[in-house]
A and B are shown apart, each in its own frame.
Chain A
Amino acid sequence: MSTWKKICFVADIPALGSRRVQRPQGVAVALFRTAEDRVFAVLDRCPHKGGPLSQGIVFGNSVACPLHNWTIGLDDGCAAAPDEGCTPSFACKVEGDEVYLDADELATKALDLLAPTAGPKRHSAA
């Protein structure tokens, strides 16, 4: 049983662009809109080094990761050959001009995957 939750209007996502959906826990979900107004949702995390896919250039049904230019398929979250790896994809439906995601999936899916880190190494607080 899906519990569809309205996220936004299709028009809130730029054509050939994306928006991010923050989750209470876990990495954000990236919403993409193609030139033909198809909408896809995948975890905002490249299978390569965790780059935020929502910031990439969208073309066809793919996005190029902004960090190292891997091409990720929006329908399945998988890297184009010869690169290998997939990022989890999320159920997504468009009704009229509204975009819906599955609330259960948002709350539970891929919570174990961490966002990449950067910057000076912090001394762990005692």
Chain B
Amino acid sequence: MKKMKLVMVGNGMAGVRTLEELLKIAPDLYEITVFGAEPHPNYNRILLSPVLAGEQTIDEIILNPLEWYAEHGITLHTGKKVVDIDRVKRIVRAEDGTEAEYDRLLLATGSNPFMLPIPGRELEGVIGYRDIADTHTMIEAATKYKHAVVIGGGLLGLEAANGLMLRGMQVTVVHITPTLMDRQLDGIAGKLLQKSLEQRGIRFLMGASTEALIGGKDGRVMAVKFKDGQEIPADLVVMAAGIRPNTELAEKIGIHCHRGIVVSDTMQTVTDPRVYSVGECAAHRGIAYGLVAPLFEQGKVCATHLAQFGIGRYTGSQVSTKLKVTGIDLFSAGNFQGGEGCEEIVMSDPFGGVYKKLVIKDDQLVGACLYGDTVDGSWYFKMLREGRKIGDIRATLLHGEAGANIGDTGHEGHTKAASMPDDAEVCGCNGVNKGTICKAIKDKGLFTLEEVKKHTKASASCGSCTGLVEQILMFTAGGDYSKAPTKKAMCGCTDASHQEAREAIKAEKLLTIDSVYKRLGWRTPNGCSSCRPAINYYLISSWPKEAKDDPQSRFINERSHANIQKDGTYSVIPRMWAGETTADELRRIADAVDKYKIPTVKVTGGQRIDLLGVKKEDLVNVWKDIGMPSGHAYAKALRTVKTCVGSEWCRFGTQDSTQMGKDLERALWRMYAPHKVKIAVSGCPRNCAEAGIKDVGVIGVDSGWEIYVAGNGGIKTEVAHFFCKLKTAEEVLEYSGAFLQLYREEGWYLERTVHWVGRVGLDYVKKKILDDAAGRQALWERLKFSLEGEADPWFEFDKAAVDTRQFTPVGAL
């Protein structure tokens, strides 16, 4: 088949990213031609400021060297500006006469700096700040001249001013309003920023309106004149008063433009479906984005359409901002100005140079403006995108993620990536240090958290260092590259989020994995090791007794009903109700250890006994010989119910915690859940069973039982929240069961209760369980219905869908 022709006009970050995405999914579909007006291959435009400041070189910011284009068979025309396009004959024509035919056209023409329409704008030494040429002009000017004036105190203007100042020029920033970066900062943060930049030697003229640029005899600018008559000397004037989408070409060829090239959710122009547009030139739902994360999202969607999958939709992005001036930390996102119906939480320490403002509306975080301490920027940003209710964490919200969580183990308590030395360990699970991550980001041109995870394994295991990795990414790659869309796709197989999959399964009564994949447009025939177990869980938890459990969609531990070890043997943990055992049980365990030569016997943290190093072939016989129920220590299910001895023996005990634990365990065992579930029952507030760090913790007091929920003893040590106080053991069963059933029905796969409650908010859970008696009873009934007749996988192989063929090899030689 003859390849189709794709021509891209513009050779910048958004466009080339689109090509990269396209080549990933459909490498052979197109013959690709790229026209770029600049003489360079694609480079990281965001890092021009560090180049100007002398912190990086041009070579270091090249993203796709010429070899990349050659390797992928892309015809690249650099230094050739496209001046016309014949949409009928489908031919692109450049200034020098070069032509290219297309079947699909991608306009990625970016934006132009806005040049103020004032006298003198055409003088030598007056430039915008947009590309490598501008950067070179500034670097060169700094070697010959003294006075620089930057018009515009926004992000770009300040970065330019900082760079010129570092290169030895006397810099004045002129800004028309009283506040610097007024689109990103409020008045107070703007003043802090101004003060800090003034200390570095930059001068400011605030609220000043430029009237004209005055030239000297040599035709070069020599001064800037203001409306109030004031004049200041200037050998170089940088206009940084904003950017305008570059729509000149699109308008010329009759493509509808309004504040940019108007595109639909599929990134096609509304005028001509053969013509796509992405990047700063494109206006999507009235917005032309200027930050890289949304543009990459657009590129991804555009690529799926060019590849003829036609599945992606771009629905807009939330954006956040960070200034790339070394030593100055600021972050803003959303509606940070507040206004009608908004509340503000503010912390201001002008001497310490720290200012934090959070804007809240209808119990949700809608904006954040941070200066001086931006560690929690990405955490706030995540909350903003997810629209989580914040009522329950309002008191500690300003203290950030660390304030909301007690522990953060595995990386020496580091929270500030910038101040970490290169050899400091960031990811304690996979032993990845900061230097390794920085090197991978630079060498391999990584942009997103997902890419860093894949290449370095940092934050790929437990995820507790995700925030740190994001920070490293921010200052190494030069922007906030955390995923911008409000929803996160489950995995690379689909655009559907966990929530969407859950809802579709529930609403449309989907009963098989295939029907889910079909309904939600999966790109892969049978998913992957990440999405298939999730979908399988959603099916069986949404439609108990109807959806069929698929063993091949379960992780090996849940398929073989034992825990795989590093040498491929397994561990066996029998259930000991509430941690009590008998001489008989111990004898049977001891005999099995001897008979099957089990190398290690260990007491677990959950008051049970672990037999390690059992061969897979022996599993069935070990289970049979021991004759105790499955402990499900291998499953995303109820694990253990840990108890203290309680009032039966303990001189302090107020309640029979062991019996309560047995009742809970007998009622809830065999319960699969989004993740593992641990319960503990203590007989008095001394809490010897450590109920404060369990998914459900029950503490006996003289007058009854206190229930605590969503605690965690793992990566993020999280003390459980007090939930309610109950009188009877029956109530403890009903409330605990209802809480866990809500989690089973609404939690995302691999989300522990601590993260689920963190996402939906404790108030929501309280409303569903405590305030709604009928709803609570219905939840408890549904859980009992699910668990009724559920098989013990160690004994009822057929009923539990255990494929026993796995325990024997085939074709013995």
Contacts and interface: CB of A to CB of B under 8 A. Distances in A.
Interface of A: 5-8, 12-17, 19-24, 28, 31, 35, 49-52, 55-60, 64, 66-67, 69, 71, 82, 101, 103, 106-107, 115-120
Contacts of B525: 35, 60
13 contacts: A13-B810, A19-B805, A20-B809, A21-B810, A22-B813, A23-B813, A24-B813, A55-B560, A55-B564, A55-B568, A57-B556, A64-B528, A120-B599
Contacts of B177: none
B568 A52 contact: yes
B527 A116 contact: no
Interface in B493-545: 524-529, 532-533
A7 B600 CA distance: 35
A48 B589 CA distance: 34
Nearest to B553: A57
Nearest to B557: A66
B475 interface: no
B812 interface: yes
Interface in B429-487: 454-455
Given A57-B555, A118-B569, A35 B526 contact: yes
B612 interface: yes
Contacts of A64: 528-529
A50 B564 CA distance: 13
A50 B421 CA distance: 33
B567 interface: yes
B552 A16 contact: yes
A28 B813 CA distance: 11
B539 to A, nearest CB: 16
Contacts of A21: 809-811, 813
Interface of B: 454-455, 524-529, 532-533, 551-556, 559-560, 564-569, 599-600, 612-613, 803, 805-806, 809-813
Contacts of A69: 529
Across the A-B interface, the 3 shortest Cβ-Cβ residue pairs: A64-B529, A7-B811, A118-B567
Given A17-B803, A51-B568, A101-B811, 14 more contacts: A19-B805, A19-B806, A21-B809, A22-B812, A24-B813, A52-B568, A55-B559, A55-B568, A57-B556, A59-B524, A60-B526, A82-B454, A107-B813, A117-B567
A66 B533 CA distance: 13
Contacts of B533: 57
Contacts of A117: 567
B527 A115 contact: no
A119 B555 contact: no
A17 to B, nearest CB: 5
A115 B568 CA distance: 9
A115 to B, nearest CB: 7
Given A67-B566, A116-B568, A5 B811 contact: yes
B269 to A, nearest CB: 34
A14 B810 contact: no
A49 B811 contact: no
Given A57-B532, A118-B569, A119-B600, A12 B810 contact: yes
B529 A57 contact: yes
Given A59-B526, A64-B529, A8 B811 contact: yes
A6 B556 CA distance: 27
A15 B526 CA distance: 11
A17 B613 CA distance: 23
Nearest to B598: A119
B529 A49 contact: no
B552 A15 contact: yes
Contacts of B560: 55
A119 B455 CA distance: 30
A58 B124 CA distance: 65
Given A14-B552, A57-B533, A59-B532, A115 B810 contact: no
B527 A59 contact: yes
Nearest to A15: B552
A35 B522 CA distance: 16
A109 to B, nearest CB: 13
A117 B529 CA distance: 25
A120 B567 CA distance: 12
Nearest to B811: A7
A71 B812 CA distance: 28
Nearest to A25: B813
A103 B532 CA distance: 35
A13 B809 CA distance: 11
Contact of A22 (B528, B569, B612, B809): B809
B597 to A, nearest CB: 11
Nearest to B812: A22
A78 to B, nearest CB: 16
Contacts of B565: 118
Nearest to B533: A57
A89 to B, nearest CB: 17
Contacts of B529: 56-57, 59, 64, 69, 71
A13 to B, nearest CB: 8
B567 A19 contact: no
A24 B566 CA distance: 23
A104 to B, nearest CB: 12
B477 to A, nearest CB: 17
Contacts of A52: 564, 568
Nearest to A23: B813
A31 B551 CA distance: 17
A100 B613 CA distance: 32
A50 B552 CA distance: 21
Contact of A20 (B527, B556, B810): B810
B491 to A, nearest CB: 11
Given A15-B552, A31-B810, A118-B613, A67 B805 contact: no
By CB atoms of chain A within 10 A, which of B551, B560, B567 has the most?
Answer: B567
A57 B552 contact: yes
B810 A60 contact: no
A54 B809 CA distance: 11
Given A57-B532, A66-B556, A14 B805 contact: yes
B192 to A, nearest CB: 42
A56 B554 CA distance: 9
B566 A49 contact: yes
B812 to A, nearest CB: 6
A56 B612 contact: no
A58 B812 contact: no
A68 B525 CA distance: 23
A15 B552 CA distance: 8
A67 B552 contact: no
Contacts of A5: 811, 813
Contacts of B813: 5, 21-24, 103, 106-107
Contacts of B555: 57, 66
